[in-house]
Structure 1
Amino acid sequence: MNQSAKYALTLSTLLLLGMAATSPGAGFALIEQSAQGMGKAFAGAGTDGADASSIYFNPAAMSLQSDAHLDVALHWIAPSAKFNNTGSTLGGVMPTTGGNGGDGGESALVPNLNYILPLNEKVTAGIGVFVPFGLSTSYERDWVGRYHGVDSELSTYNINPSISYRVSPKVSIGVGVSAQYAEADLSSAVDFGSIGYSLLGPATAGKLGLAPQSADGFLRVQGDDWGMGYNAGVLVEPRDGTRVGLSYRSKVDYTLRGDADFTVPPQAAPLTAQGIFVDTNAKAKITMPENVTLGLYQKVSEKWAVLSTVIWTRWSRFDELRVDYSNFQPDSVTEENWNDSFFYSIGADYLASEKLILHGGVAYDETPVPSAENRTPRIPDNDRLWLSLGASFKTSDTMTIDVGYAHLFVDDSESRVAGPTGDVLVGDWESSVNLFSIQLSMTL
């Protein structure tokens, strides 16, 4: 491996260890695994053979590489999520205090690297290191939705060794194993005034100075875990210039274990006498869902190729977010009840010259969030339309620079989410996402 490749590999590894992810796709999946793919809305993912991202999309397509290949990519994800309160209340009567929270979208730099090495004419090995899921939202601590969420961060890091085998000139298969690390950090305000009214009664609560929304505390929960999964795929080339790929990426189960830290205002200290609202260990079970990807690549002329992709994701596995405390504290439960969702894209490549390929694409990404009652400020998700463009610049016989940009038009949406102390967050969301990607691809 030459010095440029070693430097790129080291830089991308450091970035993977240091960056948090934020989700631009539906749910909290991150499809951003290739700058070249970004430019065409990931149409034809795992079938075009243009880079090494097939490790993620379809390991069978690694067989399309005739030489060792290294990709290092950076994706700047810049979401915007603005809330407009239209009638949030406590107990259906008292207006919930606080502003709209500012822009909850948190920008992040997300890297990935993939390396493919042909071992012989039939067998190709590869390894990918990437971020398959993530989210990051942050609001002002005193905003109107503070009891539902203030800061939310989920990051995953996946190590994915893979191998492909060319069964015949027209059929290849591939498999991979994933070791995936996940860490989560969630915070929210706690209305100890309302809790005091409920547990102690109005008279005692009044003597202590506890009134609804007058004695806010804070809860922060952190945890992490490792999980295992796998992926597999098949690539069929029925004729020259036509490729069809089908791949499966498995679910990954976690039990995130860590700490729950409570900040309790002085007047609410008597509420901790029963061993609740005190710092303790906590855990939460979560499953990163499986998906199935169908990709098509069709060369239509010497200069043009058209591509398409359909991805199904089993988001129905995400039915609730439950934090289980190791003391007498009751579980914290957020009902999610998500639906399975589809991602559809179509795009094109245009060979402008021997050194320049232009890309373009559109996509429609369905939200798994079923209703306003399940749209929480941690993930204020909705259907989105992608518009993408990009270019691949061949700078030498062994090096290509890919750039891609996409704007995501997110449908306006509503929230009507009930909280644990009788509050209901009611309002509208205006959201959008800008995505910028750059990638260095090297033939070694």
Structure 2
Amino acid sequence: MNKTRLFQKSLLAVTIATATLASQQTLAAGFQLNSQSATGLGRAFAGDAVIADNASVMSRNAAAMALFDRTEISLGVNVIDSKVKVKDGTYTRPAGFDALAGSQSVSGTTNDATSVVPNFYVVHPINDEFAVGLGIYSNFGTTNEFDDSWGKGTGVISTITAGPTAGTTPIPGADAFGGTTNVKTTNFALNGSYRINEQWSIGGGIDVIYGEGELKRKSTNMTTLVNGGATGTNGSFTFTNVDASATTVGFNLGTVFEMDENNRFGLSYHYSPEKEVSGTVEYAGNKDIGDLKIPLPSMAEFSGYHRIKDTQFAVHYSLQWIEWSSFERLETTNGVKLKDYKWQDTFHYAIGGTYYINDEWEARAGYMYDQGVQDSLTSVSVPDSDRNWFSIGASYHISKDQTLDAGFTYLVGKDKKVSDIIQTTNGNITLDTTTKATAMLFGLQYTHKF
């Protein structure tokens, strides 16, 4: 097969896979998704903004494309098996809400998800100074889908038939805290790099980000109260119904400093704008409330790589800052607030090592500590806590032109106490519970040099 046909078939395959991307389970703070390559997965992404062992480096730092002297195509897939446990739940309506006000326990549940996240990259050096690249991958994604039976039957539809307060007031139950939360993004990056001299390189590019959001909050089997008396449990109320999508444009910048062939540093910045997603946007029975605004965080990353002289070992590390403070709330373009979040900026810290066994094999390992985003407000629909990544991986050089990489990560989050709130005209309803997230990630990456 000639090079042109190989490129065309690879691009077609990854485009189809990306277009049919499965719901992504969040694997980092907030709904950041660290799953850009299997190679990075095997070292907990330590040093990923500067190692440049295949074309996937352009997703972290465009300037690192200056380190390539041949055209490379890299495509891969990560499979994510995740679990979110929700336990020890207590649902509370303050006294004075209705005849059934008070607290009641909510049974625990485990939300499982298996997702497939593909990626595709090509880097092409034009000459000794310039290189260009194309990447298709994802930086953000989350899904958390509760079973329909969780929290069912705890809400109330209160009906008053006469007097100045006549009308029907739905008071959502515990199931309105869960429902379905699904955010998916696909990033199409067009990057370029320029080598200034033997030590310094710079790069940057345009990120075209396509995103979809789905939020479903419904309370079912609600007890109906007519003038304070219970009449049955056949009511239903849709609290939130969002199914919308949008395309927006961001950018990325980066630089690489090479002390020598064994020591280098990388610094990069990714700007992600606020998206206005259009489609179905309904809240508390209101449909004409505008489009939904979803803030995406910008990110900065510093990485280092050091191969120990006259040995087969290298150490590498990364520090990444994520601007989650921009995610204060979900609201519409008409000013309707769906929910406050007030997240905080976070960091993740990663360190790893690579052992160059021989001309055919490399082994790697890494550890990442990832800070949670939730601060004064917590949420059960986007479970979050500090997380620990434990990663291992390997490369097999099939030939001087072809490499197969594999990576595995076990991720475990800490128990997180959650006190979630739904604001109503009659006061606040609360859900107190504990969440814990764990995941196993498996990745394969194939790289071909031309």
**TM-score category (smaller protein):** 0.7 to 0.9
Task: Tell me the equivalent position of 1:359.
Answer: 364
Matches within 5 A, 1:194-213: 203=227, 206=229, 209=231
Task: Tell me the equivalent position of 1:8.
Answer: 10
Separation in 2 of the partners of 1:86 and 1:131? 33
Q: Deviation per CA, 1:299-331: give whole Å up to 9, x if none.
A: 104411100000000000001112467xxxx93
Q: C-alpha displacement at 1:46, in angstroms? A: 1.8
Q: Deviation per CA, 1:79-100: give whole Å up to 9, x if none.
A: 2111113422222653357533
Unaligned runs of at least 5 residues, structure 1: 263-275
Matches within 5 A, 1:414-433: 414-421=417-424, 422-433=428-439
Task: Tell me the equivalent position of 1:257.
Answer: 278
Question: Given the alignment of the two structures, is residue 319 of structure 1 paired with residue 322 of structure 2, yes or no?
Answer: no
TM-score by length of 1: 0.88
Tell me if the contact between 1:416 and 1:424 (Cα under 8 Å) persists in the aligned partners.
Answer: yes
Separation in 2 of the partners of 1:37 and 1:432? 19
Q: Give the length in aligned residue pairs.
A: 415
Q: Deviation per CA, 1:159-179: give whole Å up to 9, x if none.
A: 110000000011100011011
Q: C-alpha displacement at 1:191, in angstroms? A: 7.1
Question: Given the alignment of the two structures, is residue 435 of structure 1 paired with residue 435 of structure 2, yes or no?
Answer: no
Q: Go from structure 1 to structure 2 and tell me whether the alpha carbon gap of 1:433 and 1:63 turns closer, same or farther (over 3 Å shift).
A: same
Task: Tell me the equivalent position of 2:162.
Answer: none
3-state SS of paired residue (1:168):
coil
Q: Answer with 253-262 or 348-357: which moved more.
A: 253-262
Q: For 2:380, which of 369, 377, 382 is the aligned residue?
A: 377
Q: C-alpha displacement at 1:130, in angstroms? A: 0.9
Q: C-alpha displacement at 1:281, in angstroms? A: 6.3
Q: C-alpha displacement at 1:51, in angstroms? A: 0.8
Separation in 1 of the partners of 2:331 and 2:149? 24
Question: Given the alignment of the two structures, is residue 220 of structure 1 paired with residue 241 of structure 2, yes or no?
Answer: yes
Question: Given the alignment of the two structures, is residue 113 of structure 1 paired with residue 120 of structure 2, yes or no?
Answer: yes
Amino acid at match of 2:29: A
3-state SS of paired residue (1:21):
coil
3-state SS of paired residue (1:419):
strand
Amino acid at match of 2:259: P
Separation in 1 of the partners of 2:293 and 2:131? 36
Question: Given the alignment of the two structures, is residue 409 of structure 1 paired with residue 438 of structure 2, yes or no?
Answer: no
Q: C-alpha displacement at 1:249, in angstroms? A: 0.4
Tell me if the contact between 2:89 and 2:106 (Cα under 8 Å) persists in the aligned partners.
Answer: no
3-state SS of paired residue (1:353):
coil
RMSD: 2.3
**More helix by proportion, 1 or 2?**
1
Q: Go from structure 1 to structure 2 and tell me whether the alpha carbon gap of 1:173 and 1:65 turns closer, same or farther (over 3 Å shift).
A: same
Task: Tell me the equivalent position of 1:94.
Answer: 102
Separation in 1 of the partners of 2:279 and 2:289? 6
Matches within 5 A, 1:41-440: 41-91=44-94, 93-96=101-104, 99-100=107-108, 102-144=109-151, 145-190=174-219, 203=227, 206=229, 209=231, 215-218=235-238, 219-260=240-281, 277=285, 279-280=287-288, 282-301=290-309, 302-323=311-332, 331-371=336-376, 374-421=377-424, 422-440=428-446
Separation in 1 of the partners of 2:89 and 2:16? 44
3-state SS of paired residue (2:410):
strand
Tell me if the contact between 2:380 and 2:420 (Cα under 8 Å) persists in the aligned partners.
Answer: no
Q: Go from structure 1 to structure 2 and tell me whether the alpha carbon gap of 1:35 and 1:52 turns closer, same or farther (over 3 Å shift).
A: same
Separation in 1 of the partners of 2:195 and 2:435? 49
3-state SS of paired residue (2:357):
strand
Q: Go from structure 1 to structure 2 and tell me whether the alpha carbon gap of 1:420 and 1:324 turns closer, same or farther (over 3 Å shift).
A: farther
TM-score by length of 2: 0.87
Q: Go from structure 1 to structure 2 and tell me whether the alpha carbon gap of 1:98 and 1:332 turns closer, same or farther (over 3 Å shift).
A: farther
Amino acid at match of 1:69: E
Tell me if the contact between 1:257 and 1:281 (Cα under 8 Å) persists in the aligned partners.
Answer: no
Q: Deviation per CA, 1:143-171: give whole Å up to 9, x if none.
A: 12421231111011111100000000111
Tell me if the contact between 1:258 and 1:281 (Cα under 8 Å) persists in the aligned partners.
Answer: no
Separation in 2 of the partners of 1:8 and 1:400? 15
3-state SS of paired residue (1:397):
coil
Amino acid at match of 1:178: D
3-state SS of paired residue (2:110):
coil
Separation in 1 of the partners of 2:395 and 2:7? 19
Q: C-alpha displacement at 1:54, in angstroms? A: 2.0
Separation in 1 of the partners of 2:93 and 2:396? 57
Amino acid at match of 1:155: K
Tell me if the contact between 1:192 and 1:217 (Cα under 8 Å) persists in the aligned partners.
Answer: no
Separation in 2 of the partners of 1:234 and 1:408? 30
Amino acid at match of 2:44: A
Tell me if the contact between 1:152 and 1:185 (Cα under 8 Å) persists in the aligned partners.
Answer: yes
Q: Go from structure 1 to structure 2 and tell me whether the alpha carbon gap of 1:260 and 1:49 turns closer, same or farther (over 3 Å shift).
A: closer
Task: Tell me the equivalent position of 1:267.
Answer: none
Tell me if the contact between 2:292 and 2:331 (Cα under 8 Å) persists in the aligned partners.
Answer: yes
Unaligned runs of at least 5 residues, structure 2: 96-100, 152-173
Q: Deviation per CA, 1:223-269: give whole Å up to 9, x if none.
A: 1111111000010012231100111000222111111468xxxxxxx
Identity value in percent: 25
Structure 1 stretches of 4+ with a deviation exceeding 6 A read none
Task: Tell me the equivalent position of 2:156.
Answer: none
Q: C-alpha displacement at 1:34, in angstroms? A: 1.5
Tell me if the contact between 1:96 and 1:423 (Cα under 8 Å) persists in the aligned partners.
Answer: no
Separation in 1 of the partners of 2:422 and 2:436? 22
Tell me if the contact between 1:228 and 1:253 (Cα under 8 Å) persists in the aligned partners.
Answer: no
**More strand by proportion, 1 or 2?**
2
Q: Go from structure 1 to structure 2 and tell me whether the alpha carbon gap of 1:390 and 1:235 turns closer, same or farther (over 3 Å shift).
A: same
3-state SS of paired residue (2:448):
strand
Task: Tell me the equivalent position of 1:266.
Answer: none
